[in-house]
Each structure stands twice: as C-alpha cells, then as structure tokens.
Amino acid sequence: MSIKVKIVGDVVHLLVIKCCFKGGEYTLWNQRYEAMERGQLEQLQFLRLKQTLERVYQLVPHYRKSFQQAGVEPGDVRTLNDLSKLPFTVKNDLRDNYPYELFATHLSEIVRVHSSSGTTGIPTVVGYTRSDLEVWSELMARTLTAAGGNQDSVIHIAYGYGLFTGGLGVHYGAEKIGATVVPISGGQSKRQVRMMKDLGTTLLACTPSYALLLAETMEEMGIKPGELRLSSGVLGAEPWSEGMRKVLEERLPIKAYDIYGLSEVIGPGVSFECSAQDGLHLSEDHFIAEVIDPTTEEVLPDGSTGELAITTISKEALPVIRYRTRDITTLTREQCSCGRTIARMSKISGRTDDMLIIRGVNVFPSQIESILLEIAETEPHYLLVVDRHGSLDTLEVWVEVSEDMFSDKIRGLEELERFIFDEINNVLGISAKIRLVEPKTIERSQGKAQRVIDKRQM
Ligand SMILES: [Zn+2]
C-alpha cells in the first residue's frame, strides 16, 4: 500500500491511493469504497438515497409532482427495495424542463454545464456543483486506475472536448491520478498518431470506432505498433462487441477496457472494467443500479437482461431518480476476482433506441458486428441500411473486405457473400442483402460511429 500526500489549498490530505490484491495484480484507486463490505455499502446507499429523495422532493417541482402522481413520498422508502415504488425519469423529462428546471441547486452553485448535441430535438443540459466535479474526477480516477493508469502514464484524450462530457470527464480523472495528460480532442488522425509516438503515450482514451481509425492511420503511415509505448485503451461512448475488442487489442496493440457513462447521470465514470474484463464495475457508493423489463417496467433479478435504470445518490446539481438509460445489460453483485465488491454490469449489448425491428425480428447492430468480426476476410467497418419496399422491411449489410479479396476472382467474393448471408440468417433468423465493398468505402468516424441508416424513418 502506498500513501501519497496531496495538498489541496492549505489543507494537507492523506490519501490512500493504491491497494493491491492477489500479489499486486490489481490496483484500486479507492479501496475503501470499491471493496466495501456489501452490508455496509447498502447502508451507505440507503442513507444517501434518503437524503437525495428529501432534497429532490423539496427542491425540484418535477419530482414533487411525479411522486405525488404516483402516490408516494420520500418517507415511504424504508428499504432499498422500496426504490421500485418511485416513478422513472426519462430523457424527455430533461427536455421538458430545459434548461435548468430539474436542477436542485441555485445557478450560483453551478460551476459547469454540459449539453447533448440536440440533433434529434431540444438539447438536454446537465449541471455540476464543485462537489459534483470532485465526485466525477474521483470516479474517473477509479476508471483509469483499473485500466492500469497511474502517475507514470501519458494519457492521450481523443474524446471530444466541449459540451460533450467525454473529453473533460476523462481529463479531470487523469489529472487526479497524476498522469501526464495530452488533451488532444478528436480529429486530425495523422497528427494524433505522431503525437502518441513522440510523447510516449501509454493510455489512449477515445471511442472504439476512433481507436480503430487511429490503428488504420498508423498502418497507413507505416508505423509499427512496437514503435509506440501504448499499453491500454479506455474506450466508450458507444456499444462495441467482444469481436471489436479482439481487433483493437491485436491492431494497436493494447488491452482494451470498456467504460460506461452518460451525461444525464454524470458522464463517463459510471462504470468501468478492471483487467479481469469480466463486466464493468459500477460505483455503487454514488449510484443505485436496477435492471428493468423495458415493456412492463418491472425490476428484474440479477442475471436477467433488461434496461439499466440508475439513481444518483450523491449528486447535488442534477440528481436523477430511476433514470432510464435505454442501455441493455445484466447485473451481478458477486465479488470480482480483482477484490472489488461493487456490482458489475455486462458490456452493453445495445440500446433500446438502436434496436431495429426488421420483419418483426429484433436486431441490435452489435449482434451483426459480432458476426462480421468473426469472419477473417472482412474488415471491421460496416453499415446497415434498412428500408421498406411495399410492406416488406429490407436489410442491406455493407461490409468492407480486405484488399486481397478484391484482387481475387469474383467467385471468391460470391462465396463470401453467401457465407455472410448464411451466418446472419442462422444467428438472427433474417435474410439480408450483403454488399461487399472495397476498403475505405465506408465513412470513418471521428467520434461516435454511425452504423445504421434507417430509411424507413426518413
Ligand atoms: Zn474486477
């Protein structure tokens, strides 16, 4: 265990920053909370939940009204299980209360706002008090530590900076652990690769699709992975498959860690993988997670797949109660081999918003990604085009194939098309038209990837 003295203003704090389990294999940023005995953790959650409920009931008209409509008061919550008596919060509640009506503090206490892009309607605005920013930095410090980050790391942050929470969220956590931060933001991929090489980057933080573009750019520039010091990637902001993990781990090469978060809850840092890569640890001292059936809204037992709902229990500016994330996952509260006792959620398998219903079959883009990435001749770039002819839905799967395939005989391409068609049909039960395209045909993403064009909604 190492002790670090950190000076904040004129107050000296002693922070225990590292605790090692199983012979130093795993490092935890905050042993006390990440590996708290579960009974104690649940007591802490209950206490913080009660305080949060009292605050929102007193201070946020929207919550007072929605609780009253549901016939509940904060006093009715006597155990953690009673949380299920409370109404859900959805994204539209943030839009309807745009910009500040859901805030539980005066604007004078807000030190930062972030906002969604609002491309699909009214944007949502989220706010942070100074204490909220400290919590956020703490959560990102846990995230980066679990991915092998420490004061010797050089952390390259290629998430967008600005109103999007990705860039600044990772930034403050990286500074908190004392790493050397390169706040490069997105874009200009060749410059990114050069900087990573010259500055000796050890940890890359960006979306998985951008990490793939950087890998490709490196290959184009003739830079061998061994010329970089990269060892980990902290990748999030979009769902990605185990197949994509394999591709990134081979091509960069890095150990690719999944991270999860959303601005309505806090931004990145809600949950993170440790090196066991066996689910994402959810910081339960700050959040209560539930998995619900998205249709009946019933709470499902651990191990069941459903939509994640999150209640914040330490946020001051914008507490959210049972926020429906629309992300599909499962939960377990079994202790991880890393020693952390906080709950784990499985890698997000899709978003209820992204789910395509094609001729009555539910399809997530990540399912198709998993199939395509298992096929050696295809490249990890694809696009799904959904349309409707008459009353019949159609799915076209565009996928890039390797250069060699195109120089090969047509027959090889036809066989590959047939093979992909059969694989998708066998796994998902739908027949898709397969379009094999040349390398670099599909547009590369600088941030979140666009995998689907649904012409039915246009
Ligand atoms: Zn773990």
Edge-to-edge strand list for the sheet holding 433-437: 433-437, 392-401, 378-389, 452-454
Instruction: Tell me the CA–centroid distance for residue 277 and ligand 1, in Å.
Output: 7
Instruction: Tell me the CA–centroid distance for residue 5 and ligand 1, in Å.
Output: 27
223: pLDDT strictly greater than 50: yes
Q: Which of 7-11, 29-33, 75-79 has the lowest mean pLDDT?
A: 7-11
CA 299, 305, 307, 312 torsion-angle sign: positive
Instruction: Return all residues near 427 (Cβ < 8 A) that are at least 6 apart.
Output: 367, 371
Nearest to 201 by CA among 254, 248, 141, 268: 254
Instruction: Tell me the CA–centroid distance for residue 47 and ligand 1, in Å.
Output: 26
Q: How far apart are CA 356 and CA 396, in angstroms?
A: 13
**Assigned architecture for domain 129-351:** 3-Layer(aba) Sandwich (3.40)
Nearest to 286 by CA among 267, 314, 305, 306: 314
Instruction: Tell me the CA–centroid distance for residue 160 and ligand 1, in Å.
Output: 28
Element (H, E) at 56: helix 38-59
Token digits for 105? 């503090």
| Whole-number percent of the chain with pLDDT over 90 | 77
Q: What is the mean pLDDT of residues 120-139?
A: 93
Instruction: Tell me the CA–centroid distance for residue 155 and ligand 1, in Å.
Output: 22
Using only the alpha carbons of the chain, give its radius of gyration: 23
Q: How far apart are CA 22 and CA 309, in angstroms?
A: 33
DSSP calls for 239-278:
---HHHHHHHHHHS--EEEEEEEETTTTEEEEEEE-TT-S
Chain centroid, CA 430 distance in Å? 29
Under the banding of pLDDT at 50, 70 and 90, the label for residue 287 is very high
CA 222, 226, 228, 233 torsion-angle sign: positive
249: pLDDT strictly greater than 50: yes
What local confidence, expressed as pLDDT, does residue 118 receive?
Answer: 64
**Assigned architecture for domain 356-454:** 2-Layer Sandwich (3.30)
Q: What is the mean pLDDT of residues 284-310?
A: 97
Instruction: Tell me the CA–centroid distance for residue 338 and ligand 1, in Å.
Output: 4
Q: Which of 64-73, 129-138, 345-354 has the lowest mean pLDDT?
A: 345-354
Q: Peptide bond preceding 99: is omega within 30 degrees of 0, i.e. cis?
A: yes
388: pLDDT strictly greater than 80: yes
Instruction: Tell me the CA–centroid distance for residue 337 and ligand 1, in Å.
Output: 6
Instruction: Tell me the CA–centroid distance for residue 284 and ligand 1, in Å.
Output: 14
DSSP state of 299: B
Beta strand 110-115 with 154-157 is unpaired
Token digits for 435? 């379009």
Instruction: Tell me the CA–centroid distance for residue 108 and ligand 1, in Å.
Output: 39
197: pLDDT strictly greater than 60: yes
- Strands (DSSP E) along 153-207, which ranges? 154-157, 180-182, 203-206
What local confidence, expressed as pLDDT, does residue 408 receive?
Answer: 65
Q: How far apart are CA 434 and CA 374, in angstroms?
A: 16
Q: How far apart are CA 279 and CA 271, in angstroms?
A: 9
Q: Which residues pair with 116 in a beta bridge?
A: none
Instruction: Tell me the CA–centroid distance for residue 278 and ligand 1, in Å.
Output: 7
377: pLDDT strictly greater than 90: no
What local confidence, expressed as pLDDT, does residue 25 receive?
Answer: 67
| Distance in Å from the first CA to the final CA of the chain | 58
Token digits for 406? 């195109």
Q: What is the mean pLDDT of residues 370-385?
A: 91
Instruction: Tell me the CA–centroid distance for residue 26 and ligand 1, in Å.
Output: 8
Instruction: Return all residues near 197 (Cβ < 8 A) that are at least 6 apart.
Output: 223, 227, 228
196: pLDDT strictly greater than 80: yes
Q: What is the mean pLDDT of residues 170-176?
A: 98
Instruction: Tell me the CA–centroid distance for residue 263 and ligand 1, in Å.
Output: 24
Contact by Cβ (8 Å): 107, 113: no
HSE value, Cβ hemisphere, 13 Å, CA-based, for 214: 34
Q: What is the mean pLDDT of the chain?
A: 91
Token digits for 328? 């599909």
Q: How far apart are CA 330 and CA 340, in angstroms?
A: 18
What local confidence, expressed as pLDDT, does residue 448 receive?
Answer: 79
Token digits for 125? 């605005």
Q: Which residues pair with 125 in a beta bridge?
A: 115
Instruction: Tell me the CA–centroid distance for residue 382 and ligand 1, in Å.
Output: 32
The residue among 288 and 376 whose pLDDT is bigger is 288
Any idea where the domains of the chain sit in the sequence?
129-351, 356-454
Contact by Cβ (8 Å): 307, 352: yes
Instruction: Tell me the CA–centroid distance for residue 336 and ligand 1, in Å.
Output: 5
Instruction: Tell me the CA–centroid distance for residue 275 and ligand 1, in Å.
Output: 7
10: pLDDT strictly greater than 50: no
266: pLDDT strictly greater than 50: yes
Under the banding of pLDDT at 50, 70 and 90, the label for residue 357 is confident
What local confidence, expressed as pLDDT, does residue 63 receive?
Answer: 98
The residue among 392 and 292 whose pLDDT is bigger is 292
Reported as a single tens digit per residue, the pLDDT across 273-282 is 999 999 999 9
pTM as predicted = 0.87
Instruction: Return all residues near 445 (Cβ < 8 A) that are at least 6 apart.
Output: 207, 209, 210, 213
Cα–Cα–Cα angle for 162, 208, 311, rounded to 5 degrees? 65
Q: Which of 17-21, 186-190, 275-279, 320-324 has the lowest mean pLDDT?
A: 17-21
Instruction: Tell me the CA–centroid distance for residue 342 and ligand 1, in Å.
Output: 9
* Number of residues assigned to the chain: 458
CA 345, 350, 355, 359 torsion-angle sign: negative
φ and ψ of 267, to 5 deg: 120, -165
Q: Which of 125-139, 173-187, 300-314, 368-382 has the lowest mean pLDDT?
A: 368-382
Under the banding of pLDDT at 50, 70 and 90, the label for residue 107 is very high
The residue among 98 and 457 whose pLDDT is bigger is 98
**Cβ burial, residue 5 (10 Å; 0-12/13-18/19+):** exposed
